[in-house]
């Protein structure tokens, strides 16, 4: 069985399997060459041949233990009919959703057609892995978790404090819950389609989970993830799911136990052994090198990597080496190669 799937099945594999969030993207010259020929980012995500090529680029270069579908967490609201554009130097820009009409305008019936190119990308990547000699590489599909997707829809893009979404959750709980239910149901269908197309594992990115109070975290991070995992386990038994409730701190233990994900990604600030001890023993822990340590490289990266490996070496639980967040664009590609050598040399 593939190393990542063994780990997500509850086996403590050593050296640990390794892949990196945003391993395909702007830090790679081969990615920039592809991106230069496409009119915009959405077009890149929805052109299967190009999205598949970008997904496979870091596998060819580094031989990671997983390829993660090249797409974006905001493809789902775009597929629901919500506006989306990516502006250079600004990131995603969306119409601000703030009322009943905005939620009512979301149309789940159009999702399957709009994400059809994404499913073709999954099929092409799965074929590419098999034909290019990467038989041990796991293909991960993904979606943004409902709360994080809602963050961008309500704020109209990124935010420093996500005041608008927190305000809606407190002041308009019924409206907010309808939005969360719509996104949860659509996420189930979207992820299920990825498995049908060939994804072997799934990941649920909740990048802004940590901005919520514990009560709202349980209601709008844990509960939607619990529903998504239960539905996918019923439809696709044996397909593992990784949750990434970023900045959850000690609530990551509650998240793991309640949602029954197979693995939990932890951010850079998390103390791996302490948080891992709060989780069921079979739950894989994934993380959590600082992306800026990867930029620095050299002795600093080696020291941080060694600290993570030493912390998990004798933990007697499944562990996946990854970053605490995604690779940043200024990362030297040679530092990524050096990191993989360090992890794979772990004894």
Residues 237-256: tens digit of each pLDDT: 999 999 999 999 999 999 99
How high is the pLDDT of residue 89? 74
Query: pLDDT at residue 57 above 80?
Result: yes
Which tokens is 72 given? Answer: 């974006």
Active site residue 27: no
> How much is the average pLDDT of 61-81?
98
Phi, psi values for residue 205, rounded to 5°: -95, 115
- At residue 90, the pLDDT reads 76
Q: Cβ(145)–Cβ(83) under 8 Å?
A: no
pLDDT in tens, 15-43: 999 999 999 999 999 999 999 999 999 99
DSSP secondary structure, 219-242, as one string: IIIIHHHHHHHHHHHHHSTT--EE
Binned at pLDDT 50, 70 and 90, residue 346 comes out as very high
**Average of pLDDT values for 135-159?**
97
Of the residues 6, 61, 72, 218, which is catalytic?
Answer: 72
Instruction: Please report how the helices 223-235 and 173-197 are oriented relative to each other, as an axis angle in degrees rounded to 10.
Output: 30
Catalytic residue among 26, 235, 260, 313: 26
**Span 159-205, pLDDT tens digits:** 989 999 999 999 999 999 999 999 999 999 999 999 999 999 999 99
With tokens 């979301």, the residue in question is: 106
For residue 337, the model assigns a pLDDT of: 98
**What is the per-residue pLDDT for 320?**
98
Mean pLDDT on 76-98: 92
**CA distance to 105, 198, 320, per residue, from 19 (Å):** 38, 19, 8
Confidence check: pLDDT of 109 > 90: yes
Whole-prediction pTM: 0.97
To the query of whether residue 152 is one of the catalytic residues in this protein, the response is yes
Bridge partners of 321, per DSSP, are 18, 287
In this structure, which topology does domain 3-344 adopt according to CATH?
TIM Barrel (3.20.20)
Distances in Å between the Cα of 231 and the Cα atoms of 102, 190, 252 are 26, 12, 21
Q: What is the pLDDT of residue 211?
A: 96
CA 45 to chain centre: 15
At residue 315 the predicted structure's pLDDT band, cuts being 50, 70 and 90, is confident
Catalytically annotated residue among 22, 227, 246, 317: 22
328 Cβ contact list (under 8 Å, min separation 6): 22, 27, 291, 292, 295
DSSP lists the bridge partners of residue 137 as: none
- Write down the pLDDT at residue 183: 98
Q: What is the pLDDT of residue 87?
A: 85
35 catalytic per annotation? yes
Strand-pair partners of 263: 242, 284
Catalytic-residue membership of 215: no
Predicted confidence band of residue 309 (pLDDT cuts 50, 70, 90): very high
Q: What's the pLDDT band for 127 if we cut at 50, 70, 90? A: very high
Catalytic hit among 31, 152, 190, 255: 152
Largest CA distance in the chain: 57
Helix H, strand E, coil C: the string for 264-292 is EECCCCCCHHHHHCCCCCCCEEEEEECHH
Has 26 been annotated as catalytic?
yes
Tell how strand 138-144 and strand 201-206 pair up: parallel
Name the pLDDT band for 347 (thresholds 50, 70, 90).
confident
Task: Find the catalytic residue in 6, 35, 114, 344.
Answer: 35
* Beta strands 263-265; 241-245: pairing state: parallel
């Amino acid at each position: 069985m593939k190393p990542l799937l063994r780990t997500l099945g509850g086996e403590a594999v050593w050296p640990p399997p390794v892949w990196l969030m945003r391993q395909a993207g702007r830090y790679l010259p081969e990615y920039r060459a592809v991106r230069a020929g496409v009119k915009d980012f959405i077009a890149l995500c929805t052109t299967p041949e190009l999205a598949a090529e970008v997904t496979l680029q870091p596998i060819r270069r580094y031989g990671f233990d997983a390829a993660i579908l090249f797409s974006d967490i905001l493809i789902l609201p775009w597929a629901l009919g919500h506006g989306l554009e990516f502006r250079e130097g600004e990131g995603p820009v969306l119409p601000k959703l703030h009322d009943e009409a905005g939620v009512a305008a979301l149309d789940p019936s159009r999702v399957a057609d709009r994400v059809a190119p994404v499913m073709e990308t999954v099929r092409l990547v799965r074929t590419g892995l098999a034909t290019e000699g990467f038989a041990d590489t796991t293909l991960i599909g993904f979606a943004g978790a409902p709360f994080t997707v809602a963050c961008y829809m309500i704020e109209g893009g990124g935010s420093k404090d996500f005041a608008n979404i927190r305000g809606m959750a407190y002041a308009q709980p019924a409206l907010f819950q309808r939005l969360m239910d719509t996104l949860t149901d659509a996420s189930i269908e979207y992820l299920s389609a990825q498995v049908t197309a060939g994804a072997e594992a799934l990941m649920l990115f909740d990048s802004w989970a940590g901005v919520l109070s514990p009560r709202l975290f349980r209601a709008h991070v844990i509960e939607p993830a619990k529903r998504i995992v239960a539905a996918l386990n019923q439809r696709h038994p044996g397909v593992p799911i990784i949750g990434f409730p970023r900045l959850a701190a000690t609530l990551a233990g509650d998240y793991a136990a309640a949602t029954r994900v197979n693995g939990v990604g932890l951010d850079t600030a998390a103390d791996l052994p302490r948080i891992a001890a709060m989780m069921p023993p079979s739950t894989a822990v994934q993380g959590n090198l600082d992306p800026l340590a990867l930029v620095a490289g050299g002795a600093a990266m080696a020291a941080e990597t060694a600290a993570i490996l030493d912390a998990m070496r004798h933990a007697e639980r499944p562990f996946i080496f990854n970053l605490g967040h995604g690779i940043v664009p200024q990362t030297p590609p040679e530092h990524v190669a050096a990191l993989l050598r360090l992890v794979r040399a772990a004894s």
